[in-house]
Structure 1
Amino acid sequence: MSESTPTLPRAASASYSVPGMAADDGARVAEILQGRLYALTDLHLTLKHVHWNVVGPHFIAVHEMLDPQVDAVREFADQVAERIATLGGSPVGVPGALVKGRSWDDYSLGRAGAIEHLGALDLVYSGVISDHRTVAGEVGDLDPVTEDLLTSQSGQLELFHWFARAHLENAGGELSTAGATSEREAATQAEAGAGESV
C-alpha cells in the first residue's frame, strides 16, 4: 500500500477577467499576486507570533504596537485575494500551499526580547516591501488598478517598518541592524546596539 502525497489546490483561472483586460493578462496578474498573498499571510502570522513571544522592558510597547499591524496586514491579504478573484483567478490560502509556494523560511525567533524581535522584523519588512514594490512595477502596464493596490499597501507597510526601525536607530540615523543578512544576525546586532545606547 503506498501513501499518496496530498494534492494542494492550485490557482485556477477563469476564461474571463475584468472589463478591458484580456483573460490571459488577468491570469498573469492573478498568478503574480498569489506570491503577494503568500507573503502577506505569512507576515500577519509572523507579526502575531512576535506579539505572543516578545518579552523584556519594552514588552508592552511592542506587544500593543503589533496588533494593529496584524489587523492591517490581514486586511491586505484579503484585498489581494479578492483582487485575484476579481481578475478571474482562484486565490489559494491554505497553509500547505503557502509553505510550498514561498521562497523564505519560517521566522527564526521564539521567545525573545523586544529589541531582538524588532531587529529581525526589520529584515522581514524589508523583504516584503521590496517584493511588493517590484511586483507593483511588474503589473503596472498590465493592470494599473493592481499597481495602485500594491502601491497603497506598500506605503502602509513602510510606515509599519519605520515603527520598528525607530527602535533600532541611534540619534545619528544609523540602524543597529545595518548589514545583517539573517533574522538571527539582525536580532543579535539590535540587542548589542541597545546595550551600547544604555
Structure 2
Amino acid sequence: MATGFNVPGMTAKDSKTVIKALQDRLNAYTDLHLTLKHVHWNVVGPTFIAVHEMIDPQVEAVRGFADETAERIATMGGTPVGTPGAMVKDRGWDEYSIGKDTAQAHLGALDLVYTGIIKSQREAIETVGELDPISEDLLVSQTSQLEQFHWFIRAHLESSSGQLSTAGSKTEAQAAAAAKKAK
C-alpha cells in the first residue's frame, strides 16, 4: 500500500489508514462515473434529453474526483490502483442493476446509488479527519458536489409536498419501480 515514504508530519501507520480510505473512494468514484455513463447511454422516454444532458457533467466531475484522489494517494507514498479487477474485488456494493429504462427508473435507482456513496464519503471523512486535514478537505469538497448532484436527481423524484417517490426503497430495482409508478 505505501511505498516507503510519508508526507511530512504523518506516521506510516496514519498514512496507511488514510491511503486505505482514499483507495476505497477511488474505487467508488471509478464505479460511479461508469454507472453514470451507463445511465447516460441507457435512459429513454420523454425526459430523455434532460437527464442525458444532466448526467454528463456529473460523469466528468466524478472522473476528476478519481484523478484527484489517485494523485493524493501517490503524494502520500501509496500506489493508487485503478484496474477494473481490483475495483470489483475490493468494492463493498453490488453492480448497478438497471439496464435500458425510463428516465424516472434510472433516477430512482441513482437516488439509492448517491445515498450510498454520500454515506460512505462521510464515513471516509470521519476516518481521515484527525489524521490528515488535507485528505479530509479533499473529501469534504468532493462530498459537497456529490450532495448537489444527489439533489439534482432527487428534484425529479420529489412531489410538491416534499415526498420522495423512492422513500423506503431498499434496492435499485425497488427504487426504479417506485419512481416509475409515481410518475
TM-score (norm 2): 0.98
For the residues of structure 2 that align with 1:14 and 1:20, how far apart are their CA atoms? 16
Tell me the residue number matched to 1:6. none
1:32-51 paired onto structure 2 within 5 Å: 32-51=21-40
Equivalent residue letter for 1:23: A
Tell me the residue number matched to 1:67. 56
Q: Do the aligned partners of 1:27 and 1:88 also contact (CA within 8 Å) in 2?
A: no
**Number of equivalences:** 183
1:1-198 paired onto structure 2 within 5 Å: 12-194=1-183
RMSD of the TM alignment (CA)?
A: 0.7
Q: Do the aligned partners of 1:14 and 1:23 also contact (CA within 8 Å) in 2?
A: no
Q: How big is the shift at 1:137? A: 1.0
Q: How big is the shift at 1:24? A: 2.2
Partner SS state of residue 182, structure 2? helix
CA distances 1:33-58 after superposition (whole Å, capped 9, x unpaired):
11111111000000000000000000
Partner SS state of residue 122, structure 1? helix
User: After the TM superposition, which parts of structure 1 deviate over 4 Å for at least 4 consecutive aligned residues?
Assistant: none
Q: How big is the shift at 1:23? A: 2.2
Partner SS state of residue 128, structure 1? helix
CA distances 1:101-151 after superposition (whole Å, capped 9, x unpaired):
011111000100000000000000000001001110111110011111100
Structure 2: 5+ residue stretches without partners = none
Structure 1: 5+ residue stretches without partners = 1-11
TM-score (norm 1): 0.91
Partner SS state of residue 85, structure 2? helix
| Structure number with larger C-alpha Rg | 1
CA distances 1:74-124 after superposition (whole Å, capped 9, x unpaired):
000111111111111000000000110011111000100000000000000
For the residues of structure 2 that align with 1:32 and 1:111, how far apart are their CA atoms? 33
